[in-house]
């Protein structure tokens, strides 16, 4: 998708007020939206100015008629109104229902006022104040759009208590002031706000008074949060009408009751008042107004991060018409992967930038790696064979397409709404009893004997989950480590295909999409992988399934020749375009003919067709609005697969993280709707290694599908404290050191022990491809790699290159036969306190695991203390040299361990983030998202 295909982003009226309560990184209170120019402090806010200057449409004496297109306000019924319930005539407490014209009191002498009870019992929503108390002589309505739903109206008495504004539309669009001002609901605590309508019959006072004419922002109370003048002004053009599915309901039985709506709004307002993403959204406009500014800020942070690390004085050779190369040191801050785009300049020859793509990485010399690149955009000066050597500046190219696609999906989120389809209401978080029945959905029956060919037969847990999934329009499946998520997805895809349903497979990363496509293809089905063109040089075992490979096998020559024979009908320019037009048309035909298609969430934006079923893997590793990109294809069944007990989406911006952008839609819906369907039989870990995560993270429900004998290779000898339990915690006293290149940390003593364990495993015949080295810190990963490349380790260098050394975040989704975990920290826990990160770190191994860390520090963290106690109780906490390990005897108990289990919806810790707010090693390559 080109930039021209994406709707232009609005430059005015950006909705960043949601972040007003989140402190910026620099400590200032300026909340100017990323990408927009800051506004002068003297400039008054357009909306506040309008609020202060608004004049009532009718004079107090009634001399002025109604505005054009506006109906006359109804006259009060009786001359002396009284409550229809209790006959009270306390005029300061009375108001009239705008729907039935009956009068009711707001006297709070029971569980609820008669006025409130009437609205709740009858579903009425319009309120008319008596003329003697309200300058407008009538209906309480939004001063901007005229909406009169009292459960949606808000006011701020410090500015004006005589004008109201609707929360779901106008304030959602203008959320820049929601947190700067204290918006109070007109309805709350089972009554009309006593600020507006008295709840005490003895209190005699006018309901409201006219504002001083010409009142401006300077007249506002001194304690009003400052500065209003810094907030974005309202756009001159009229904002598009945002559809509210609750108000669009035409079936009374599915309409959300006013009390339910009020409850949802109260809970939503409370969370937003804390600067956090709410659990429930009131409308598509509300959803967009919360997430769009966050995504734009995240996009800006990604751009800043790519520009932050520039490698200078890089040696290499660049060529126009064939691959060139550059040489990067092993400790380079550039995390280069195959498929990445690089911006390379040559300062001695000028500042012009050329764009290259990485096609291969070769680690063939002691001090670094050779990166093979090809020129993608531009041309080096001097002819087709020109080349330069040395003195290059290199940086990763900034590619915002991923974020722009999310913004576009937010702008079109109302498309998810259909009168007979409850998808939009479901993802907004509405309760089940108010969601419209999904009449387009047709449940299926999966037999107990179902088994797809070429895929492992489902166990009892997987079969039970799948049988429930095919009967629901929307399902959440939790797949703990090693429980067969991909096999379950493949079985579901095969079953839906057998029932004549088209299937859309998606995930945030290409690796996950590749795995799904490969597993489904193993069942004998034809699968189309819509891999991005930017991954042309990225190796994959399932490359033959990609659209590019399928296009290579097509012979378009006959069709092109036929067009050439008709060349007299076309201009020269048109004839030159024909081959590309034919390929584009054939590409669209292949897509439309495919019954099973895989694409990342981001790349799904480029597909123009509808599907019956959407299955999303790694659903807990993508942000809430990121899922919308894949949901725009008319799906009638949606299945999200993930694990909220593992790491969530990667967020770079610290303010976005504090606001809650790092909470996935999967996790939010689990918090609202309870436990998802769970796969509970694991086949990865040795039973002894699975015991702790099963108890602490999965409430003891995780069962073992493998035996200890199946996970104990006889030929591997290692000094385990207990040979029947292939794991140990190796106590270490080395000190952490700061890595000033990216505010990370490393621990030389732990790194040395990591190599000792690695060498022992390699010497005992373990393949380097079966070993993984994991650390929470990039500094430690770099330090371990540098030790591997030292001259003293030259003999094993080729073996070391095959050992995966990565952060916890990068290792999620992977597994190895043996893992070595280095915790690094000795002075401060940092993000070691994140329980989900620990869960990922200790569930990657199949046969054996070694943990190396400072016990004294880790005991201060409740979940780590429980882990240490678990190892110590089994005699697996050791110290000393590798060949002379001693079991550490049980020590005196430390701080309380905390609860046995971690709540499914537990919020991740924000400790230990980098300067940008992202966990180390968590950055996902843009190439892998497309």
Range from 26-35, 45-54, 656-665 carrying the lowest mean pLDDT:
26-35
8 A C-beta contact, residue 727 and residue 718: no
What is the dihedral sign for C-alpha 620, 621, 626, 631? negative
Q: How far apart are CA 235 and CA 907, in angstroms?
A: 36
Q: In angstroms, how far is CA 171 from the centroid of its own chain?
A: 24
Give the mean pLDDT of 293-308.
87
Mean local confidence (pLDDT), 386-399: 82
3-class SS string, 482-500: CCCHHHHHHHHHHHHHHCC
Count the alpha carbons within 13 Å of 128 in the hemisphere toward its beta carbon. 19
Residues whose CB is less than 8 angstroms from the CB of residue 184 and which lie 6 or more positions away in sequence, other chains included: 154, 155, 156, 157, 193, 195
Q: What are phi and psi of 574, to 5 degrees?
A: -65, -40
pLDDT at 6: 36
* Domain architecture of the chain: domains with CATH: 17-238 (no CATH), 309-399 (2.40.30.170), 441-678 (3.40.50.300), 687-898 (3.40.50.300)
Q: Which residue has the higher pLDDT, 120 or 484?
A: 484
Q: Distance (Å, rounded) from C-alpha 413 to C-alpha 404?
A: 14
CB 457 within 8 A of CB 465: no
Is the pLDDT at 879 greater than 70? The verdict is: yes
Query: Would you say residue 191 has pLDDT above 70?
Result: yes
Q: Is residue 179 pLDDT above 70, yes or no?
A: no
Is the pLDDT at 50 greater than 60? The verdict is no
Q: What is the pLDDT of residue 364?
A: 58
Lowest mean per-residue pLDDT among 53-57, 378-382, 509-513, 677-681: 53-57
Map tokens 């401060």 to a residue: 828
Between residues 175 and 471, which one has the greater pLDDT? 471
pTM of model > 0.85:
no
Token pair in block for residue 694: 């099963």
Laid out side by side, the sheet with 727-731 consists of 804-807, 771-775, 816-822, 845-853, 727-731, 877-879, 886-887
Determine the Cα–Cα distance for residues 102 and 82; give it in Å rounded to an integer: 9
DSSP string, 325-345: EEEEETT-S----TT-EEEEE
pLDDT at 136 over 80: no
pLDDT at 190: 78
Task: Write down the pLDDT at residue 8.
Answer: 36
Tokens of 666: 């999967």
pLDDT of the residue at 164: 84
User: Tell me, what's the pLDDT at 368?
Assistant: 77
Q: Which are the contacts of 904, defined by CB distance < 8 A and separation ≥ 6?
A: 478, 644, 645, 670, 671, 675
How would you write 229-287 as a 3-class SS string? HHCCCCCCCCCCCCCCCCCCCCCHHHCCCHHHHHHHHHHHHHHHHCCCCCCCCCCHHHH
Greater confidence (545 vs 9) lies with 545
For 543-592, the pLDDT digits (tens) are: 889 998 888 866 555 554 445 444 444 444 444 445 567 778 888 999 99
Burial class (CB in 10 A: 0-12, 13-18, 19+), 141: buried
Two structure tokens written together for 556: 């378009």
CA distance 566 to 561: 9
For 464-501, letters b (16+ CB in 10 Å) and e give: bbbbebbeebbbbbbbbbbbbbbbbbbbbbbbbbeeeb
Task: Locate 441 and state its tokens.
Answer: 């959905």
Does position 75 have pLDDT exceeding 80, yes or no? Answer: no
User: Which pair of tokens denotes residue 423?
Assistant: 């998808």
Q: What is the mean pLDDT of residues 618-626?
A: 96
Average pLDDT (472-496) is 96
Place of tokens 């361990």: 897
Q: Which residues are bridge partners to 616 per DSSP?
A: 506, 640
Return d(Cα 777, Cα 771) in angstroms, integer: 18
Least confident of 29-43, 622-636, 728-742: 29-43
SS3 call for 214: coil
Write a three-state SS string for 567-587. Answer: HHHCCHHHHHHHHHHHHHHHH
Strand runs labelled E in 688-785: 703-704, 727-731, 737-739, 744-746, 771-775
Please tell me which residue, 50 or 693, carries the higher pLDDT value: 693
Name the 3-class secondary structure at 92: helix
Confidence of residue 49 (pLDDT cuts 50, 70, 90): very low
Question: Per-residue pLDDT averaged across 342-359, rounded?
Answer: 86
* Cis peptide bond upstream of 199, omega within 30: no
Q: Which has more confidence, 897 or 410?
A: 410
* 415 or 909, higher pLDDT: 415
Looking at residue 412, the DSSP 8-state letter turns out to be T
**Chain centre distance of CA 517:** 23
Start-to-end C-alpha separation, the chain:
10
Mean pLDDT of 509-530: 95
Residue/partner pairs of 632-636 with CB below 8 Å, 24 or more apart: 632/409, 632/412, 632/415, 632/416, 632/604, 632/605, 633/504, 633/604, 633/607, 633/609, 634/610, 635/423, 635/504, 635/610, 635/611, 636/421, 636/438, 636/440, 636/441, 636/442, 636/473, 636/612
- Whether residue 428 is predicted with pLDDT greater than 70 in this model: the reply is yes
Bridge-based pairing state of the strands 613-616 and 637-642: parallel
CA distance 334 to 337: 9
If DSSP codes are grouped into helix, strand and coil, which group holds residue 743?
Answer: coil
Measured CA to CA, the distance from residue 59 to residue 64 in angstroms comes to 6
Bridge-based pairing of strands 160-166 and 153-156 is: antiparallel
Q: Order of strands, edge to edge, in the sheet holding 127-128?
A: 103-105, 94-97, 127-128
754 near 746, Cβ under 8 Å? Answer: no
As a dihedral over the C-alpha atoms of residue 410, residue 606, residue 656, residue 25, rounded to 10 degrees, the angle is -120
SS (H, E, C) 786-831: HHHCCHHHHHHHHHHCCCEEEEHHHHCCCCEEEEEEECCCCCCCHH
What average pLDDT does this structure show over 293-297? 93
DSSP string covering 741-767, please?
A: TTTEEE-HHHHHHHHHHHHHHHHTT--
Q: What is the pLDDT of residue 297?
A: 92
Query: Which of the two residues, 368 and 212, has the higher pLDDT score?
Result: 368
Does residue 513 surpass a pLDDT of 90? yes
Residue 474's nearest CA partner among 285, 618, 631 is 631
Residue range 48-68: mean pLDDT, rounded: 36
SS3 at position 887: strand
Task: Tell me what the mean pLDDT of segment 99-107 comes to.
Answer: 87
Strands 744-746 and 153-156, how do they pair?
unpaired
CA gap 540, 548 in Å, rounded: 13
Split at pLDDT 50, 70, 90, the class of 147 is confident
Cα–Cα dist 43/232, whole Å: 10
> pLDDT (tens digit, 9 = 90+) per residue, 833-855?
999 999 999 999 999 999 999 99
CA distances to 82, 103, 128, 250 from 118, in Å: 14, 10, 14, 21
The answer to whether residue 258 scores a pLDDT higher than 70 is no
Q: What is the mean pLDDT of residues 509-534?
A: 93
Q: How far apart are CA 808 and CA 773, in angstroms?
A: 9
* Stretch 634-662: mean pLDDT: 93
* pLDDT on residue 273: 55
State which H helix or E strand residue 619 sits in: none
Token pair of 171 as six digits: 């304030």
Beta bridge partners of 849: 727, 819
Mean pLDDT of the chain: 77
**Between residues 362 and 234, the one the model is more confident about:** 362
What's the pLDDT score for residue 162?
A: 66
- Asked if the model's pLDDT at residue 252 lies above 60, the reply is no
Residue 132 confidence class, pLDDT cut points 50, 70, 90: low
Is residue 80 exposed (0-12), middle (13-18) or buried (19+ Cβ within 10 Å)?
exposed
pLDDT score at 784: 95
Interatomic CA distance for residues 923 and 744, integer angstroms: 14
Higher-scoring residue by pLDDT: 586, 51: 586
- What percentage of residues in the chain have a pLDDT greater than 90? 40
146 C-beta neighbours (distance < 10 Å), count: 12
Beta strands in 346-495 (DSSP E): 353-365, 368-377, 387-389, 392-396, 474-478
Choose the weakest-confidence range: 81-85, 654-658, 706-710: 81-85
Q: Does residue 293 carry a pLDDT above 80?
A: yes
User: pLDDT tens digit string along 598-621?
Assistant: 999 999 998 989 999 999 999 999
CA atoms within 13 A on the CB side of 470: 24
For the chain, the residue count is 930
């Amino acid at each position: 998708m080109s930039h021209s295909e994406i709707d232009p982003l609005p430059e005015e009226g950006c909705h960043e007020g949601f972040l007003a309560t989140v402190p910026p990184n620099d400590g200032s209170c300026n909340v100017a939206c990323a990408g927009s120019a800051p506004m002068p402090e003297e400039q008054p806010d357009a909306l506040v100015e309008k609020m202060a200057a608004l004049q009532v449409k009718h004079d107090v004496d009634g001399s002025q008629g109604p505005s054009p297109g506006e109906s006359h306000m109804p006259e009060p019924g009786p001359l002396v109104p009284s409550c229809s319930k209790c006959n009270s005539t306390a005029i300061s407490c009375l108001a009239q229902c705008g729907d039935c014209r009956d009068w009711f009191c707001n006297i709070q002498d029971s569980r609820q006022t008669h006025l409130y009870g009437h609205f709740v019992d009858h579903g009425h929503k319009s309120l008319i104040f008596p003329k003697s108390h309200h300058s407008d002589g009538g209906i309480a309505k939004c001063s901007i759009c005229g909406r009169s739903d009292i459960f949606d109206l808000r006011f701020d008495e410090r500015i004006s208590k005589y004008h109201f504004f609707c929360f779901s539309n106008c304030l959602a669009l203008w959320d820049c002031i929601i947190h700067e001002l204290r918006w109070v609901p007109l309805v709350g605590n089972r009554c009309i706000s006593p600020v507006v309508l008295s709840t005490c019959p003895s209190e005699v006072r006018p309901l409201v008074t006219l504002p001083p004419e010409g009142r401006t922002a300077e007249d506002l109370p001194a304690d009003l949060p400052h500065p209003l003048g810094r907030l974005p002004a309202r756009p001159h053009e009229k904002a598009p009408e945002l559809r509210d599915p609750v108000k669009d309901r035409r079936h009374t039985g599915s309409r959300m009751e006013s009390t339910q709506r009020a409850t949802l709004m109260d809970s939503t307002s409370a969370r937003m008042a804390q600067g956090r993403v709410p659990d429930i959204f009131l409308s598509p406009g509300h959803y967009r107004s919360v997430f769009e500014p966050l995504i734009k800020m995240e996009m800006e942070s990604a751009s800043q991060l790519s520009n932050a690390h520039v490698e200078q004085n890089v040696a290499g050779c660049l060529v126009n018409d064939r691959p060139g190369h550059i040489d990067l040191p092993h400790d380079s801050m550039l995390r280069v992967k195959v498929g990445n785009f690089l911006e390379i300049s040559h300062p001695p020859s000028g500042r012009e930038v050329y764009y290259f793509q990485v096609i291969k990485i070769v680690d063939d010399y002691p001090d670094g790696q050779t990166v093979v690149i090809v020129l993608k955009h531009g041309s080096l000066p001097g002819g087709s064979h020109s080349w330069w050597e040395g003195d290059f500046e290199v940086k990763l190219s900034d590619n915002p397409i991923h974020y722009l696609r999310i913004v576009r999906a937010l702008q079109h989120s109302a498309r998810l709404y259909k009168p007979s389809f409850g998808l939009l209401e479901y993802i907004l978080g509405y309760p089940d009893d108010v969601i419209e029945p999904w009449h387009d959905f047709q449940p299926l029956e999966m037999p107990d004997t179902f088994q797809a060919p070429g895929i492992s037969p489902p166990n009892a847990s997987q079969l039970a989950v799948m049988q429930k999934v095919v009967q629901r329009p929307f399902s959440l499946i939790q797949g703990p480590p090693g429980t067969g998520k991909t096999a379950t997805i493949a079985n579901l895809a095969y079953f839906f295909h057998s029932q004549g349903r088209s299937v859309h497979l998606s995930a945030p990363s290409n690796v996950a999409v590749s795995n799904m496509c490969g597993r489904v293809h193993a069942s004998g089905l034809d699968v189309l992988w819509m891999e991005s063109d930017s991954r042309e040089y990225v190796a994959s075992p399932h490359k033959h399934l990609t659209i590019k490979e399928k296009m290579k096998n097509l012979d378009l020559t006959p069709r092109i020749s036929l067009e050439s024979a008709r060349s007299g009908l076309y201009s020269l320019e048109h004839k030159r375009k024909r081959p590309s037009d034919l390929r584009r048309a054939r590409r669209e035909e292949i897509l439309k003919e495919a019954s099973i298609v895989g694409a990342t969430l981001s790349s799904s934006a480029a597909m123009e067709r509808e599907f019956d079923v959407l299955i999303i893997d790694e659903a807990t590793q993508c942000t809430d609005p990121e899922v919308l990109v894949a949901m725009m294809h008319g799906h009638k069944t949606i299945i999200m697969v993930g694990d909220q007990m593992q790491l969530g989406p990667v967020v770079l911006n610290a303010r976005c993280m504090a606001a809650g952008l790092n909470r996935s839609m999967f996790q939010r819906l689990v918090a609202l709707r309870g436990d998802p369907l769970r796969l509970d039989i694991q086949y990865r870990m040795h039973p002894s290694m699975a015991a702790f995560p099963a108890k602490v993270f999965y409430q003891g429900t995780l069962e073992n599908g493998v035996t200890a004998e199946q996970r104990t290779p006889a030929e591997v000898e290692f000094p385990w404290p207990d040979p029947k339990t292939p794991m140990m915690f190796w106590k270490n006293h080395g000190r952490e050191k700061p890595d000033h290149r990216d505010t990370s940390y490393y621990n030389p003593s732990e790194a040395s022990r990591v190599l000792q364990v690695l060498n022992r495993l390699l010497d005992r015949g373990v393949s380097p491809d079966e070993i993984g080295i994991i650390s929470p810190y990039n500094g430690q990963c770099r330090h371990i790699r540098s030790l591997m490349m030292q001259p003293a380790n030259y003999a094993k260098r080729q073996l070391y290159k095959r050992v995966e050394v990565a952060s916890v975040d990068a290792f999620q989704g992977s597994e190895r036969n043996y893992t070595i975990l280095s915790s690094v920290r000795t002075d401060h826990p940092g993000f070691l306190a994140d329980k989900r990160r620990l869960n990922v770190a200790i569930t990657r191994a199949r046969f054996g695991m070694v943990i190396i860390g400072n016990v004294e520090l880790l005991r201060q963290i409740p979940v780590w203390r429980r882990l240490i106690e678990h190892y110590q109780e089994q005699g697996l906490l050791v110290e000393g040299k590798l060949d002379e390990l001693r079991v550490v005897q049980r020590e005196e108990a430390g701080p309380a361990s905390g609860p046995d289990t971690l709540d499914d919806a537990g919020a991740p810790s924000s400790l230990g983030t980098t300067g940008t707010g992202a966990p180390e090693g968590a950055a996902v390559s843009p190439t892998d998202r497309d």
